């Protein structure tokens, strides 16, 4: 899968719910929603409900790249249903996949949460744009860049050098209009993974995550995070 052109590079965002929550709330996500770890696909019962999105952090391997090429060929041949109500954002900033994943998880759940600040402004100004135009909007937003950089340095581990190409990549799974979609800014479009419901979304998302893991069973670097309603608020 070819990389989109990257005009700038950010520090990678750590897969850390505390860092993500502080970042997303600074951008305008309400505190009654939170990012939480999914510790195991066998422990979904302990994940706070409802779940609006699932983020996957995984290694980009040759097996994965080969699969993506086959997947794209199949979609071109067979087509797929894609909801016109999805907000899809291309990734043209290096190492920005964590921020793109957060934006995908929130921007495709605006009916569930009252947004403010940057998020409200971004969605309003870009709702009629193409995925590429949304990417350009993000590139020119100095406030978002500064907020991302601050959050990237707040994790438990030292961020790698800005110029380093990390093997790990974030993408988001969301439910929209009865289907579960994979939202990955490296791809040309969302990928439809089949029917789902609000009640069954977490189980259906877990099944998609399992497919990622099954493609490279020797690989252990998978992290799953849910965007959930905070049961204490």
Give the Cα separation of 108 and 175 in Å (integer): 8
Give the Cα separation of 6 and 100 in Å (integer): 14
Q: Token pair 């399992």 is at which residue?
A: 210
Give the Cα separation of 63 and 39 in Å (integer): 24
Question: What residues does 169 pair with on adjacent strands?
Answer: 58
Structure tokens at 126: 């870009």
Q: Token pair 């929130």 is at which residue?
A: 106
Q: Is 68 a catalytic residue?
A: no
Give the Cα separation of 72 and 167 in Å (integer): 21
Q: What distance lies between CA 190 and its chain's CA centroid? A: 11
Q: Is 148 a catalytic residue?
A: no
With beta carbons less than 8 A apart as the criterion, state whether 101 and 15 touch: no
- Active-site option among 104, 145, 148, 169: 169
Structure tokens at 1: 């899968």
- Active-site option among 97, 104, 148, 209: 97
Q: Token pair 């952090």 is at which residue?
A: 57
- The residues, any chain, with a CB within 8 Å of residue 59's CB and separated by 6 or more, are 167, 168, 169, 216, 219, 221
ω into 129 cis (within 30 of 0): no
Q: Which residues are catalytic?
A: 97, 169
């Amino acid at each position: 899968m070819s990389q989109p052109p990257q005009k700038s590079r950010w520090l990678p965002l750590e897969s850390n719910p505390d860092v993500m929550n502080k970042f997303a709330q600074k951008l305008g996500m309400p505190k009654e929603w939170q990012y939480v770890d999914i510790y195991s696909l066998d422990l979904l019962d302990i994940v706070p409900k409802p779940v609006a999105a699932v983020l996957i952090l995984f290694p980009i391997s040759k097996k994965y790249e080969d699969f993506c090429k086959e997947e794209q060929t199949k979609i071109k041949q067979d087509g797929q249903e894609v909801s016109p109500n999805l907000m899809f954002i291309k990734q043209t900033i290096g190492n920005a996949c964590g921020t793109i994943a957060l934006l995908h998880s929130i921007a495709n759940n605006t009916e569930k949460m009252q947004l403010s600040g940057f998020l409200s402004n971004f969605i309003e100004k870009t709702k009629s744009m193409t995925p590429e135009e949304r990417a350009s909007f993000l590139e020119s937003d100095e406030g978002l860049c500064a907020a991302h950089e601050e959050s990237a340095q707040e994790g438990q581990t030292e961020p790698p050098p800005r110029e380093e190409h990390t093997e790990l990549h974030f993408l988001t799974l969301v439910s929209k209009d009865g289907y579960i979609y994979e939202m990955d800014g490296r791809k040309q479009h969302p990928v439809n993974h089949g029917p789902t419901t609000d009640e069954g979304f977490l189980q259906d998302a877990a099944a998609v995550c399992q497919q990622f893991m099954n493609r490279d069973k020797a690989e252990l670097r998978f992290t799953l995070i849910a965007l959930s309603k905070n049961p204490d608020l």
